[in-house]
Amino acid sequence: MTFPSTSRIRPAAVLAAAVGLTFVLSACQPTPEPSTPAPAHSAASGLPSTHIHGLDVDGETGQILLATHVGLFDISEDPATQVGQTNDLMGFTAGKEDGVYYASGHPGEGSDLPNPLGLIRSTDGGETWEQLSRQGESDFHALTVTKSGIVAFDGTLLTSPDGKAWTTVTTDFSPAVLAGNPDSDTVLATTPDGLQRSSDGGKTWALDPSAPVIQFAAFASPTEAFGVQPDGTVHYSADGGTTWTPKGRISSKLQAIAAAKGSDGKPQVWAATTDGILTSTDGGETFLNSEPK
């Protein structure tokens, strides 16, 4: 099981999470399974892969991207189309600007990137990637963007203003997911012992004993966040994760979530599950199957 993460606002704020419902960070495979050509769909859910590591939704265009074990896919239409070369994107997050993504993981078959990938960046929607730092050194399973820069976890929690120079953050927890927003310095880190929260871009942290134990988290705006417990219960926060209100429940096995402001100004939630993509347009109260065009 793996727990990478992603976040952005355009106005979407997105986080990717993991396969499974226990808080255990796994060692990922050093070499991803052969994937050329990549499977068009998984047999169980119609998704491109059964291993989904990240979910990104553009709140303006409705584009839905999945970061998977066998590459990045646009699933906005049926059939899904692969974007760029095949890489095992264990960590995936979107930047503030359109088309900017950060990722980590392992090179796939035919890829000329190092193993592990370190931090890589795309400025053309995932078609091509440039190497920023820590190539051959870091496989970031948890990764997010904040107003101050990047927060990432490869066994050690690190922050960077530019994705090149890194500062180690001393903590006593291992985050399953890091959720941030490019227009805020608030970061949430999900752990089996409770929710950790930072208000300074990941430099310092405090455990919130009053918060529910959340495994998946995503920001829909600089202040509005969603969290999902291991049992699928969905929670909503209007104040950057300071207080939480229970909403609905996701009954399928969850792999990643994303959140964004809808055209009506209300927050929406997307959930990548083993049964497919679910969408909530009522603030996490109910979830319906999301069918591609």
Which residue's entry shows tokens 């931090």? 119
For residue 86, what is the domain's CATH number? 2.130.10.10
DSSP 64-115: EEEEETTEEEE-SSSS-EEESS-EEEEEEEE-SSTT-EEEEEEE-TT--S-S
127: number of Cβ within 10 Å:
12
Residue 101 is assigned to a structural domain of this protein: yes
The pLDDT score that the predictor gives to residue 45 is 62
Residue 126 is assigned to a structural domain of this protein: yes
The pLDDT score that the predictor gives to residue 119 is 98
283-293 core/surface letters (b: 16 or more CB in 10 A; e: else): bbeebeebeee
The pLDDT score that the predictor gives to residue 23 is 54
Q: d(Cα 144, Cα 94) in Å, to the nearest integer?
A: 8
Residue 4 is assigned to a structural domain of this protein: no
Q: In one letter, which amino acid is 161?
A: P
Q: In one letter, which amino acid is 79?
A: P
Q: d(Cα 199, Cα 208) in Å, to the nearest integer?
A: 13
Q: d(Cα 156, Cα 239) in Å, to the nearest integer?
A: 28
- Per the structure, the count of domains in the chain is 1
Q: d(Cα 134, Cα 62) in Å, to the nearest integer?
A: 33
Backbone angles phi, psi at 174, to 5 degrees: -115, 110
Q: In one letter, which amino acid is 11?
A: P
Q: Domain range spanning residue 62?
A: 13-289
Residue 2 is assigned to a structural domain of this protein: no
DSSP-assigned beta bridge partners for residue 268: 260
The model carries a pTM of: 0.86
Q: d(Cα 147, Cα 154) in Å, to the nearest integer?
A: 21
Residue 8 is assigned to a structural domain of this protein: no
The pLDDT score that the predictor gives to residue 78 is 87
Cα dihedral 241, 243, 244, 245 sign: negative
208: number of Cβ within 10 Å:
16
Sequential pLDDT tens for the chain (293 residues): 333 333 333 333 334 333 333 454 333 433 333 333 333 344 346 788 889 999 999 877 889 999 999 999 999 988 999 999 999 999 999 999 999 999 999 999 989 999 999 999 999 999 999 999 999 999 999 999 999 999 999 999 999 999 999 999 999 999 999 999 999 999 999 999 999 999 999 999 999 999 999 999 999 999 999 999 999 999 999 999 999 999 999 999 999 999 998 888 899 999 999 989 999 999 999 999 987 76
Tokens of 231: 């049992």
The pLDDT score that the predictor gives to residue 262 is 82
